Amino acid sequence: MEAAARAASDKHSEPKTYLNHETSVWEWLTTKDHKKIGIMYLVSLAVVFLVAGLLAMAVRLELMSPDFSIMSADQYNQTFTLHGIMMVFLFIVPSIPAILGNFVLPLQIGAKDVAFPRLNLASWYVYMAGGIMTVAALLIGQLDTGWTFYTPYSSQQGSAVIFMTAAIFVSGFASIFTGLNFIVTIHKMRAPGMTWNRLPLFIWGLYATSIVQVLATPVIGITMILLILEQTLQIGIFDPALGGDPILFQHFFWFYSHPAVYIMILPAFGIISELIATFSRQRIFGYRAIALSSVAIAMLGFLVWGHHMFVSGQSAISSIVFSLITYLIGIPSGIKIFNWVATMYKGSVWLQTPMLYALSFLFLFTIGGLTGIMVGVLAVDVHLHDTYFVVGHFHYVMMGGSVMALLGGMHYWWPKITGRMYSEMLGKIAAGLIFIGFNVTFFTQLVLGSQGMPRRYYEYVDRFAGLHQLSTIGSFILAAGLFLVLGYALHSLFYGKRAPQNPWAAATLEWTNVAAVPDPHNFTSTPLVTRGPYDFHKADEIFGGGDGQASGDGAGIDEDLLSPPEAAPAAPGDEPKQ
Amino acid sequence: MNDSGSFWLPEAASTVAAEIDGLFYFVYWASAIIFVGVVAAMVYFAYKYRRRDPNDRPELVEESRLLEISWIVIPTILVLLVFTWGFQAYITLGTAPPNAYEIQGEAYSYGWSFVYPNGAETTDELNVPADRPVKINLSSREGDVIHSFFVPQFRVKQDVLPNRYSAVWFEANQTGTFELFCTEYCGTGHSAMIGDVNVMPQDEFDEWVDGAVLDEDAMSLAELGELQFQRNGCQGCHSIDGSDGVGPTMQGLHGRDRDLQDGRTVEADENYLRQMIVEPTSQVVEGYRAGIMPSFAHLDERQVTALVEYIKSLDDE
Amino acid sequence: MSTETAPATDHVDTAHDDHPPHLQHHFVSSEQQFDSAKLGMWLFLVTEILLFSALFVAYAVYRNWNPVAFVEASATLDWQLGFVNTLVLLTSSFTVALSIHYIQKNDVQKSVISLLSTLALAGVFLVVKYFEYMAKFEVGIFPGEAFNPTGSYEYLAAIQYVPQFFSIYFVMTGIHGVHVLIGMGLIAWMASRAYRGHFSDEYYTPIELTGLYWHIVDIVWIFLFPLLYLV
């Protein structure tokens, strides 16, 4: 990033941008600019994703065949535990809000920054503190509880569990700070004319996410404190040997960790709405339904945690109630899928890399959602619970959903973040590799699970060998695709073509009213919003990009397109409807 | 084991399996139709309405209220149907018939032991009669962790908790041997915590269970030791065939020099073996972890001696 | 809903050419900054409530399982001391409200005095709490494993779930105590800033937010007191 900034500042004619302004390490580390904080999060999370991804590769390699072994059972248990903890708590939960939310949210609503810039920076430091404690837990070793920390197993393990739970407690604050910041920013910092009905759907997604972050994270915090006290003082709340109730821990844990799934997927819904509308050049079908169903999912998400516990021994009545609400929450998700597909109808569908990820998302998330319905069926879940079917299901939702959307969003906003275009051809190849690799890896796991393969197994019986091998091969393809992305992303930072202001002919403020590389203060003048975020039929006449000058691969860009634009003037006679 | 399962599901060998499989495939096909519809529409639109020119200006499509209502209402009806069906089958799964044959099951790290009504015992092996409801009352050993009882071919699963009873029932309708898995992660030996479920005809089962009652006092020390070895779940961590597990193998252990974690070397004589059964953390061998093996100080004198004799008897090969 | 959008009219301040010194550059007006800060604080208070709510659930579960143990264990707590502490905290909420009242009237001195009285009352609360804890520790009532009642409290050891009551008691009052300490730090800081003239009737947001925080600490105690002392 800094290299790009330096390259940019070499050209003295360049306008001041957030990348060539205050570029020393110290200025980066003390910055209150939401865009820079987003990039700091991007770098930290990329490292976490790389490490946790390599751990996943080690797990798949170990499971390649029943005889082949690269590690002991203890090492295997620690590997999948760390993979799960790092991916869930340190990667997917913060990922979209902390990277893209931080970068895009103020730009999309026409604000100079988030409401509390210092709190925003604090959130990054708190997150890093959590990361350092995770490393400490790693160094102590013997952290093998699985990411779910079920008691009494976890309360009997060594001090690494204390460090890890403390790390989750601490990094929870990063999540709360971000959520709190976003809610206030969305309520109080919108540009004139940016009514609730004109908020881009990414903002609605972040808003719903933030509500869940603020309401659910304190519960995991106190649960982790109780677990630490259980370990250190044996307070006997969760450990049955001391008269405690291990099921109570599961209730507390899932009261956070199920809504956490919505922390991971709701912002992804937002990104997909942006991508599908922009690349279909069509207003989103059922804007209100998508916006409100996000909030509905956020609320209902608090009432379904018990569906993780159908075979735990909780009462049959609670299982039945949780199952019913689980179905109800499936419906708003279904509505979104149908709305997105309908948005493409009679549009102008442009299959650029971000759109490929959006379509991958539709494919994979539909499987994730439908398998979710299958494990929500009480009697069927008894068979599928804690098998690879569940592993496959949540990877379809978490990786096929959240990570695909994150990748799509990163490609979509990459030109705005770095001011550079990436190679469109490599982008498409990588998207294809990731799509194929993902399905080979995880569809086989769905079959493995329904055939009876339990999760978290170091060794397995021979009848599962073929499918496990296939899954491992798929994971190699998936990894190849992801490394390709890393490769051309780094390449584009230094050698990518200069990005135009609005390469995708998008209609939201960060493209129409912000320079190719944003100004340190985002907008040269406060934008006045006069239309909805996806009113392409109204907006085509107003902004550039839709006229063929920007091909999306950076070719044929006029120099004057790189200069900061004027604010979109108010179209006469197009007054706000409300 | 015969492999007569389908692509998705293993062989169905219990009475509830047919209903659960029916439900599984109903949801599966309904899902498949929705999925194919979504993907087909997506691919068709992506092709039909592909961008032909950067200057494309698609017209505004009016939203159709009817369409929106239909895709809210139809899935709602579908899921309510599935919910009702699923919850009835769940109630069936949760309610054991009153005439069920009851077996006590205990899970521990890392193995299973079962006690039959007449006192017969098995370890990592569950023998049940065919065509008769069987109810297993499960609990985890005192101070142990959560385990889960799972027989894929029966489509039943139940978490097993310490200090609390839970129960699972099934009626096997096929004879043969099926897999018993632990499905709640329980530590180092989790994936080794598997057993066999042997389903046999009622008369064969009766014959077996009558012959399986043990008279401990009449046994030789080595025989009693073997029984204690299994009953206490030692084989969950310690092999008797020389292969390495969570703990060291017992084969040829007696008389061997042991390199301890504190740097000392001791000979694994009778006193060492005895010491390690009663106080396992005292002299841990290099390469293994203290704290995994619990103390067996609660065994009586004859049982400990029998265990030592049994371990000594494993020297011969 | 469009009325909620940020007002574009600038806050007019005759004392400065540009904007008041407390106004951060990314806000349009003092009102926007104040509203944002207040909404943020309210959201933070919601997270505090949820933090305690899990403990209340644990309390409810164990009490439901074994009400007798909870009655027995609760009876050993000194409700009079608890009541005194309740009064102390209520009074401190009043004094912190007074400090906001005075700063709104630009009476810095009285505002500082109110803050310092709040600080003193919080100190009294913690001292009382210290003696309560010590009285329990002396008879061997500790949280968790160390629970080993002696003397006239020995009968507690025989009742199942009594250790759980004390675990919950110590954890809840302990975490509440940590909040009191944090609150004292904040109030001391506010008093010092007010004394140095950072606040006036135009800008007193930090004092108001600290006050909100202090009220929530008070409210949590108002729930803790009857649940733990007056079962």
Among A76, A359, A373, A468, most B C-beta atoms within 10 A, so best to mutate, is A373
**Quick check: pTM over 0.90?**
no
Beta bridge partners of B159: B148
Last residue of a domain, which of B69, B94, B119? B94
* Residues 6+ positions from C62 with CB-CB distance below 8 Å: A237, C70, C161, C164, C165, C168
In a domain, C18, yes or no: no
Helix and strand totals (H; E) in chain B:
6, 12
pLDDT at A95: 94
Token pair belonging to B295: 């103390």
B32 and B118 share one domain: no
> Measured between alpha carbons, how far is C122 from C155 in angstroms, rounded to an integer?
35
B262 and B297 share one domain: yes
Nearest chain A residue to C53, by CA: A219
In a domain, C23, yes or no: no
Query: Which ipTM did the prediction report?
Result: 0.88
CATH of the domain at B266: 1.10.760.10
> Measured between alpha carbons, how far is C166 from A242 in angstroms, rounded to an integer?
13
B264 and B202 share one domain: no
> Measured between alpha carbons, how far is A104 from A335 in angstroms, rounded to an integer?
26
Q: What share of chain B is helix, strand, coil (3-state, %, to 5)?
A: 40, 20, 40
A296/chain B closest Cα distance in angstroms: 14
Question: Domain count of chain C?
Answer: 1
pLDDT at A556: 36
In a domain, B12, yes or no: no
pLDDT at B223: 84
In a domain, C106, yes or no: yes
Q: Which helix (H) or strand (E) holds A215?
A: helix A201-233
> Measured between alpha carbons, how far is B69 from B54 in angstroms, rounded to an integer?
34
- Distances in Å between the Cα of A98 and the Cα atoms of A111, A347, A493, A520, B7 are 17, 32, 21, 19, 42
CATH of the domain at B64: 1.10.287.90
B76 and B106 share one domain: no
B130 and B224 share one domain: no
Nearest chain A residue to C44, by CA: A180
In a domain, B9, yes or no: no
Nearest chain C residue to A218, by CA: C51
Q: B58: which DSSP letter?
A: P
The 10 Å Cβ neighbour count of residue B274 is 15
pLDDT at B286: 84
On average, the pLDDT of chain B sits at: 88
Chain A residue numbers with beta carbons less than 8 Å from the beta carbon of B157 are 311, 382-383, 385-386
Task: Give the structural domain span for B58.
Answer: 17-94
Residues 22-81 of A with CB under 8 A from C: none
Q: How far apart are the first and last CA of chain B?
A: 31
In a domain, B2, yes or no: no
pLDDT in tens, A21-48: 888 999 999 999 999 999 999 999 999 9
B192 and B228 share one domain: no
Residue for token pair 């600038």: C10
Report the alpha-carbon angle A249-A135-A231, nearest 5: 30
Beta bridge partners of B50: A349
B134 and B199 share one domain: yes
Last residue of a domain, which of B94, B120, B147? B94
In a domain, B10, yes or no: no
On average, the pLDDT of chain A sits at: 88
Task: Give the structural domain span for C66.
Answer: 43-230
B51 and B134 share one domain: no
Q: Are B302 and B225 in contact (CB under 8 A)?
A: no
More confident site: A213 or B56:
A213
The amino acid at residue A403 is V
CATH of the domain at B174: 2.60.40.420
Contact B8 A461 (CB under 8 A): no
pLDDT at B126: 95
In a domain, B68, yes or no: yes
Does pLDDT of B205 surpass 60?
Answer: yes
CB contact burial B96-110 (16+ within 10 A = b; e otherwise): beeebbebebbbbbb
> Measured between alpha carbons, how far is A565 from A517 in angstroms, rounded to an integer?
11
Q: Are A234 and A214 in contact (CB under 8 A)?
A: no
- Distances in Å between the Cα of A356 and the Cα atoms of A61, A424, A439, A492, B108 are 29, 11, 15, 19, 49
Residue B288: φ, ψ to 5°: -120, 165
- Judged by DSSP in three states, A412 sits in helix
pLDDT at A477: 97
Contact B3 A451 (CB under 8 A): no
Instruction: Give the max Cα distance, chain B.
Output: 95
Instruction: Determine the length of chain C.
Output: 231
In a domain, C129, yes or no: yes
pLDDT at A539: 55
CATH of the domain at C84: 1.20.120.80
**B200 band by pLDDT with thresholds 50, 70 and 90:** very high
Contact A242 C146 (CB under 8 A): no
In a domain, B61, yes or no: yes
- Judged by DSSP in three states, B196 sits in strand
Chain A residue numbers with beta carbons less than 8 Å from the beta carbon of B4 are none
pLDDT at A102: 96
Between helices C205-229 and C162-195, what is the axis angle to 10°? 160
Q: Which of A280, A342, A378 sits opposite B87 (nearest CB)?
A: A378
Nearest 10 degrees: Cα torsion A557, A560, A565, A568? -70
Residue B265: φ, ψ to 5°: -125, 125
Q: Which of B35, B145, B183 sits opposite A366 (nearest CB)?
A: B35
A83/chain B closest Cα distance in angstroms: 15
- Residue A520, chain C, CB below 8 Å: the answer is no
- Judged by DSSP in three states, C43 sits in helix
Residues 340-399 of A with CB under 8 A from C: none
B109 and B50 share one domain: no
Query: Could you tell me where the DSSP H helices lie in chain B?
Result: 15-48, 65-94, 202-211, 221-231, 270-278, 301-313
Token pair belonging to A165: 């739970």
B112 and B194 share one domain: yes
Residues 228-287 of A with CB under 8 A from C: 229, 233-237, 242-245, 248, 252, 255
Q: Are B160 and B148 in contact (CB under 8 A)?
A: yes
pLDDT at C1: 30
B57-66, B92-101, C166-175 — which is least confidently predicted? B57-66
Last residue of a domain, which of B211, B242, B263? B211
pLDDT at A11: 47
pLDDT at B316: 58
Contact C145 A176 (CB under 8 A): no
* Residues 6+ positions from C214 with CB-CB distance below 8 Å: C92, C93, C96, C118, C183, C186, C187
Report the alpha-carbon angle B217-B222-B226, nearest 5: 90
Residue for token pair 């499918």: A467
pLDDT at C42: 94
Between helices A388-397 and A424-450, what is the axis angle to 10°? 150
Among A377, A446, A447, A464, most B C-beta atoms within 10 A, so best to mutate, is A377
pLDDT in tens, A226-277: 999 988 888 888 988 888 889 999 999 999 999 999 999 999 999 999 999 9
pLDDT in tens, B265-305: 888 888 888 888 888 888 888 888 777 788 888 888 888 88
pLDDT at B4: 67
Q: Are B285 and B248 in contact (CB under 8 A)?
A: yes
The pairing of beta strand B176-182 with beta strand B147-151: antiparallel
A353-367, B214-228, C128-142 — which is least confidently predicted? B214-228
> Measured between alpha carbons, how far is B206 from B276 in angstroms, rounded to an integer?
39
Residues 157-176 of A with CB under 8 A from C: 176
Residue of B50, B262, B168 whose CA lies nearest to A280: B50
> Measured between alpha carbons, how far is C58 from C51 in angstroms, rounded to an integer?
12
Nearest 10 degrees: Cα torsion B282, B229, B193, A470? 100
Q: B63: which DSSP letter?
A: P
Q: Which of C2, C36, C160 sits opposite A188 (nearest CB)?
A: C36
pLDDT at A119: 95
> Measured between alpha carbons, how far is A425 from A522 in angstroms, rounded to an integer?
31
In a domain, C6, yes or no: no
pLDDT in tens, A529-577: 988 898 887 755 544 444 444 444 333 333 334 333 433 433 333 333 3
Residue for token pair 């017992």: B250
Question: Domain count of chain B?
Answer: 3
In a domain, B220, yes or no: yes
> Measured between alpha carbons, how far is A462 from A407 in angstroms, rounded to an integer?
36
The 10 Å Cβ neighbour count of residue C13 is 15
Residue for token pair 């709340």: A237
List per-block mean pLDDT (blocks of 10 residues) for chain C, which spans 231 residues.
Answer: 36 48 84 91 93 91 87 88 94 95 92 95 95 89 81 79 89 95 96 92 92 95 92 76
Stretch B160-178: mean pLDDT: 93
> Measured between alpha carbons, how far is A19 from A34 in angstroms, rounded to an integer?
12
B138: left (phi over 0), alpha (psi -120 to 50) or beta: beta
Residue for token pair 């496990």: A468
- Judged by DSSP in three states, A256 sits in helix
Q: What is the 3-state secondary structure (H, E, C) of A84-145?
A: HHHHHHHHHHHHHHHHHHHHHHHHHHCCCCCCCHHHHHHHHHHHHHHHHHHHHHHHHCCCCC
> Measured between alpha carbons, how far is B98 from B162 in angstroms, rounded to an integer?
25
> Measured between alpha carbons, how far is C78 from C229 in angstroms, rounded to an integer?
7
> Measured between alpha carbons, how far is C144 from C165 in angstroms, rounded to an integer?
10
Residue of A400, C188, A225, A337 whose CA lies nearest to B41: A337
> Measured between alpha carbons, how far is A250 from A308 in angstroms, rounded to an integer?
9
Chain C residue numbers with beta carbons less than 8 Å from the beta carbon of A220 are none
In a domain, C11, yes or no: no
**A480 band by pLDDT with thresholds 50, 70 and 90:** very high
Q: B14: which DSSP letter?
A: B
A139-143, A500-504, B217-221, C54-58 — which is least confidently predicted? B217-221
